[in-house]
Amino acid sequence: MIAKRFSKGFTIIELLVVVAIIAVLAAIVLVNVTSYIAKGKDAAIKGNLSTIQVNSAVYYDGQSPSTYVGFITACGAAPTGASGFTGPANAITAAGGTTSCPASTATAACVRSTLNGGGSYCVDSTGFKGAPTAGTDCAGADLTCQ
């Protein structure tokens, strides 16, 4: 009679192959997840800059005579009589952005932030939202991004 040999369990080589495959798959997932986190933070920065832009228009319309003066006192900090407006600027900082904005003028306001994925994003009182043109980053007398 021929004896049958049954193996119980796995060999060390089989276990090492399985662990190696799992490690490669985990590395692929980790790279993709970190890029999605950066994209999500950039989307949050852009959304908060848009909030600042909309609030600047509301502030402008509420002043008599209409002016942006006093709206941007410290890069999105609360203008006079509008306590609690620091939320968007604080959220930009929490998402990894760095805001940059000069004091607003009577007819213009502009805010820019760096993005986690590189580059920057800018909004201004003309309605522009996007990457600023080189050399016009909230600069000049008209405080525009274009």
Cα gap 80→123, rounded to integer Å: 21
Cα gap 36→42, rounded to integer Å: 10
pTM flag (> 0.95): no
Single-letter code of the amino acid located at 15: L
Q: Which residue has the tokens 């203008």?
A: 79
b/e per residue 70-109 (b: at least 16 CB within 10 A): ebbeebbeebeeeeebeebbebbbebbbebebbebbeebb
Express each pLDDT in 76-103 by its tens digit. Answer: 454 444 444 567 777 888 888 887 776 6
Asked if 102 and 145 touch (Cβ cutoff 8 Å), the reply is no
**Of 31, 57, 23, the residue nearest 129 (C-alpha):** 57
Cα gap 120→34, rounded to integer Å: 20
Express each pLDDT in 58-79 by its tens digit. Answer: 888 888 888 887 777 655 454 4
